[in-house]
Amino acid sequence: MKSILLVEDDPFVVDIYTKKLTEAGFLVELAQDREETLKKISEKKPDLLLLDIVLPNIEGWDLLKEIKEDLSFKDLKVAILSNLGQKADVEKGLKLGATRYFIKAHYTPTQVVEEIKKMLAP
C-alpha cells in the first residue's frame, strides 16, 4: 500500500483529502509543522509528500527547500497542494523540487487523487 504524508493545517482540507486518499487505497499520515513532517518522513519514508505552502510557524517553501537539500530525502516525491496560484508560485515550487503543483481552486479532490495515482504508478 502506497503511503502519503499530508502536510496541511486546515481541518476541512485534511478531512476531505484523508477521506478521498484512503478510499483510493492510500495510507495517509498527517503533519502540521516542520518538526512533525521531518520526523515522519525520516521514520516512515512515505511514497509522496503532499505539501501545503501556507503553514503555521514555517513557510512551506522553506520546508520544501530543506527536504530537497537533504540527500536522504532526494527520492521523495513532493506534490504541492496550495491556494497560491500565481505563475511565479508554481514555477518556484517546481524549481525547488516539487514533482507537481496543484492549485486547490483548479482541481477537485477527486482530480488530485487521480493525478497522485498516476504519479505513484509503477
Q: pLDDT for 29-65, tens place per residue?
A: 999 889 999 999 999 999 999 999 998 888 899 999 9
Give the number of other Cβ atoms within 10 Å of residue 12's Cβ.
8
Where does the pLDDT of residue 122 fall: very low under 50, low under 70, confident under 90, or very high at 90 and above?
confident
pLDDT at 74 over 90: no
- Name the nearest CA neighbour of 97 among 120, 72, 69: 69
Q: Is 82 exposed, middle or buried (0-12, 13-18, 19+ CB in 10 A)?
A: buried
Extents of the domains making up the chain: 3-117
Q: Is the pTM of this model over 0.85?
A: yes
Q: Residue 23 in contact with residue 4, Cβ under 8 Å?
A: no
pLDDT of 81 higher than 90:
yes
Q: Which residue has the cell 527536504?
A: 67
pLDDT for 117 equals 97
Instruction: Supply the pLDDT for residue 87.
Output: 96
For residue 108, how many other CB atoms are within 10 A of its CB? 11
Average confidence score pLDDT of the chain? 95
N-terminal to C-terminal alpha carbon distance within the chain: 12
Architecture of domain 3-117: 3-Layer(aba) Sandwich (3.40)
